[in-house]
Structure 1
Amino acid sequence: MKLTRRMMMGVAMGGYLLSAGAAMAKTELTFWSWRQEDKAFYNEIIKKFQEKEPEISVKFETYAPENYQTILSTALAAGRGPDVIQARAYGNLETIAAPGYLLALDKQTVPELANFPEPALAAETLRSDGKVYAVPFATQTMLVIYNKKIFADAGVKPPQTWDELIALSAALKAKNVTPFANGTATAWQNETIVAALLSSMLGKQFEEDIASGKANFTDPRYVNALSKLKDISQYFAPNFIGVDYASSQQLFAAGRAAMFAGGSFEVANFKAQNPALDLGVFASPVAKPGDERLIARYYDGGYAVNAKSDKTDAALKFVRFLATPEYGTAFTNALKNLSPIKGIKIEDPLTQEVAKLADNSMSYLMLVRFRYQEPSGSVLLQSNVQKMLAGQQTPEQAAAEINKGIATYYKPFQK
């Protein structure tokens, strides 16, 4: 009897030690991001992942967007950093993929890459070796967001042509309504404004001509588009030259301006600040009826694995989960932000509208094509448009300066 009791105690103790050992063996991943505003969403997603993979835990950490790339690059260069990385796309991806900091992904290690369109994978591809280094996470579109109540009260409708946009803005201003909440004090906002308002004016052919070297940024089509932007700026926020990004957001979210030229990623933030807002979206107006109407589109980063991680298998499991239609549907519906994953189900009518507009697009030009070398096309555009709208340059001068900077490394412009 004593032996039996001892045996039972031994078995119980053994079971305890085994369970304790299993708990101790649980793999914890670190996951870094700049998306501080999405923290609650990611924590919920991690719970869902852990229901499927209970032996893996994930610690989500965020950093200020303006410092994220520097903090991440410094950590990776030191052989540290997180196991899973929310990485930016295009040129910013290359700065951390080219030195070998990221694990290359393929359809053997991440079969879910088949869930993405080729342009999304191209945004996460290192040009020098043609390999994919991150699972894409979002499709961003540049368009105009508008307040439906303000439009209805003023008796105006979304414009189709540029002339209609000017007339609409003048009508709103005559009723003491600020037409656009936008300011230009925050440099990067000038790039989003250009894409949101001028994409249809420029057109896909202009992008093709730029890419092939048939045209450069001194082209009359580009100068004319900048001139149109100069014209519409009289309807931006009062004293817009000194109005920064946060102030522009607040002006629109508070219902004190009718329109906001920017990214579809703004919608969730506006609704979070003011749930009563009834919002609509429209693509950039065309020069004349019959022209092709476009939005500007880009793929906003992806989920990557640290090449120096000693938890690669667990990290790949998490990244594969972030590449499923289940995840893409949750991402889109929770954050009102388009996932590029095929087969997602969009519940929100406004997000459905954004997705429909995204079907007819050109590139968010400077990011997609000219943010790989210095001076980047984005910085050149942002600074020179800022000067132009402040009255320090003409559209011709702004275009020439943009072209001059890119020509220092882009051979087609050197002819």
Structure 2
Amino acid sequence: MLIQHRLLAGLLYVGALVSPASSLAAGLTIESWRVDDKVLWEEVLIPAFQRKHPGLAVKFAPTAPTEYDAGLQQRLSAGTAGDLITCRPFDASLNLYKKGLLERLDGQGRAQLDDFPASAKLAWQTDDGRETYCMPIASVIHGFFYSKKIFAELNLQPPSTEAEFFRLLEVVKSQGKYTPLALGLADQWETHQVIFNGMGPAYWQGEAGRKALISGKKKLTDAEFETVWTLMARLRTYLSKSASTQTNADSQSLFGLGRAAVYPAGSWDIGPIRAQSLDFGAFPPPVPKAGGVCHISDHSDIGIGINPRSKNKEDAYKLLTWMASQEFADLYTNKVTGFFSLSNHLVPVLDPVAKQMMDWRKSCASTIRLNAQILNRGRPTLEADFWAVHSQVLAGKLSPAEAAAKMQASLNHSAK
């Protein structure tokens, strides 16, 4: 009997030692594809959160972007995924939700989503808008960077219209010292996400054209879409001689080293260009004619959700609540330069180029990438076809009319 009491006491003592440590070790784990954010989370965001919730351990566990989607679904299905899930916009996350792999966040008396406008939640809702499964974090904005040194040397000003844009490219080309446009065709995605989706909304009238395409009231062969491929074909003469093999990294380097006047970019490029010590500014996509409405692609990029099988769900909601706060919006916007908070909080943006781009929201109509919602369904995806077609137009291998017909055929096929 004495031995049994001693054994029980020993087990209780060991349990007292082990339990707190085990609980702390478990903590919360965040799944993400944002490998570049690891230091930010570990050195800035997690410590800030823990000042509000001392003792609550948080681990940021990113996966390489190319491996994230498949690996995450496997882990969620197997019950081994983290507690919080960084969400890609639209179908990638919607498909997880439909399989029961993401928690529904609205309709539960919780207030995390109250600090976000309806437009911000669109990327993480069901098609009918009735269910929300991820909380918005940040968007990215498309535009053009320009070298202040080259513009001053050639007496150029940032353009506001299509005519002014091509006039300045022509000046740079005729001068012969610099590449007018730092745009490569090797990676293909830039031609779609930055050029087509950046310049195009001013021609198809942003959200009106996007929604008309979804409803079937408009086709990609209509003039407002084909005109954008015509515009893209005109850009060919202003690319570098090695554009066909030029990657996005090459374009960044070409511009960052001061050898190109204009770089079509996304706000996510601010940090890499800033690291090259170049003095640069930004201008929004030009309008077709003077007096036209400016449109920007203000694309919802990243959200956060909860694993419905998390064993630490209440703690996960604590972190989610903090991520909806003013403090998080300030930290994320200014530490992940070029990723703009989607919350209603007023955020002072410190980087001057990031501030320029965020301020476009005040004077330009905002839209998202043309095929991001609904249209990208089917295999092969419309996105993949867009990449190939745009690059062929810029390489002179496909006419604008051929591009429009090819993409409408692709859209018809994906809709079946």
Q: Is the 8 A contact 2:235 2:394 kept in 1?
A: no
The equivalent residue for 2:168 is 168
Query: Secondary structure, in 3 states, of the residue corresponding to 1:260?
Result: strand
C-alpha separation between the residues in 1 aligned to 2:211 and 2:87?
28
Q: What letter is aligned with 1:250?
A: S
Query: Secondary structure, in 3 states, of the residue corresponding to 2:310?
Result: coil
The equivalent residue for 2:370 is 365
Query: Secondary structure, in 3 states, of the residue corresponding to 2:373?
Result: helix
The equivalent residue for 1:150 is 150
C-alpha separation between the residues in 2 aligned to 1:313 and 1:234?
57
Match of 1:341 among 320, 340, 343: 343
How does 1:68-87 map onto structure 2 within 5 Å?
A: 68-87=68-87
How does 1:19-58 map onto structure 2 within 5 Å?
A: 21-26=19-24, 27-43=26-42, 44-58=44-58
Q: Cα distance, 1:17 vs. partner?
A: 9.0
1:134 matched to 2:134: yes
Query: Secondary structure, in 3 states, of the residue corresponding to 2:57?
Result: strand
C-alpha separation between the residues in 2 aligned to 1:374 and 1:21?
49
Q: Is the 8 A contact 2:199 2:228 kept in 1?
A: no
Mind listing any 5+ residue stretches in structure 1 that lack a counterpart? 1-13
1:181 matched to 2:179: no
C-alpha separation between the residues in 2 aligned to 1:132 and 1:201?
31
Q: Is the 8 A contact 1:376 1:406 kept in 2?
A: no
Q: Cα distance, 1:240 vs. partner?
A: 1.0
Match of 1:381 among 383, 386, 407: 386
C-alpha separation between the residues in 2 aligned to 1:394 and 1:29?
52
Q: Cα distance, 1:49 vs. partner?
A: 0.9
Q: What letter is aligned with 1:290?
A: G
Q: Cα distance, 1:196 vs. partner?
A: 2.1
Query: Secondary structure, in 3 states, of the residue corresponding to 2:47?
Result: helix
Larger deviation: 107-116 or 40-49?
Answer: 107-116
C-alpha separation between the residues in 2 aligned to 1:136 and 1:70?
22
The equivalent residue for 2:200 is 198
C-alpha separation between the residues in 2 aligned to 1:394 and 1:260?
24
Q: Cα distance, 1:55 vs. partner?
A: 2.9
C-alpha separation between the residues in 2 aligned to 1:154 and 1:19?
72
With normalisation by structure 2, the TM-score equals 0.89
CA offset digits 1:110-168 (Å, max 9, x no partner): 41211111011111113368311111111211111222222112210111111211110
Tell me how many residue pairs correspond in the alignment: 396
Query: Secondary structure, in 3 states, of the residue corresponding to 1:366?
Result: coil
The equivalent residue for 1:112 is 112
Q: Cα distance, 1:24 vs. partner?
A: 4.2
Instruction: Quickly say closer, same or farther: Cα 1:283–1:79, change in 2 above 3 A.
Output: same
Match of 2:219 among 197, 216, 220: 216
Q: Is the 8 A contact 1:107 1:114 kept in 2?
A: no
Q: Is the 8 A contact 2:381 2:414 kept in 1?
A: no
Query: Secondary structure, in 3 states, of the residue corresponding to 2:393?
Result: helix
Q: Cα distance, 1:245 vs. partner?
A: 1.7
Q: Cα distance, 1:74 vs. partner?
A: 2.0
Query: Secondary structure, in 3 states, of the residue corresponding to 1:361?
Result: strand
C-alpha separation between the residues in 2 aligned to 1:287 and 1:184?
24
C-alpha separation between the residues in 1 aligned to 2:19 and 2:74?
35
C-alpha separation between the residues in 1 aligned to 2:281 and 2:373?
26
Instruction: Quickly say closer, same or farther: Cα 1:368–1:269, change in 2 above 3 A.
Output: farther
Larger deviation: 391-400 or 205-214?
Answer: 205-214
Q: What letter is aligned with 2:34?
A: R
Mind listing any 5+ residue stretches in structure 2 that lack a counterpart? 1-11
C-alpha separation between the residues in 2 aligned to 1:126 and 1:372?
14
C-alpha separation between the residues in 2 aligned to 1:312 and 1:172?
57
The equivalent residue for 1:290 is 291
Match of 2:258 among 250, 255, 259: 255
The equivalent residue for 2:271 is 268
C-alpha separation between the residues in 1 aligned to 2:388 and 2:375?
15
C-alpha separation between the residues in 2 aligned to 1:385 and 1:59?
40
1:226 matched to 2:229: yes
The equivalent residue for 1:3 is none
User: What is the identity percentage for the equivalent residue pairs of Structure 1 and Structure 2?
Assistant: 27
C-alpha separation between the residues in 1 aligned to 2:101 and 2:143?
35
With normalisation by structure 1, the TM-score equals 0.89
CA offset digits 1:275-294 (Å, max 9, x no partner): x3222221111221111111
Q: Is the 8 A contact 2:141 2:267 kept in 1?
A: yes
CA offset digits 1:304-354 (Å, max 9, x no partner): 111121111111111221111210111111122211111232232332221
Q: What letter is aligned with 1:297?
A: D
Q: Is the 8 A contact 1:375 1:406 kept in 2?
A: no
C-alpha separation between the residues in 1 aligned to 2:256 and 2:33?
23
C-alpha separation between the residues in 2 aligned to 1:245 and 1:48?
34
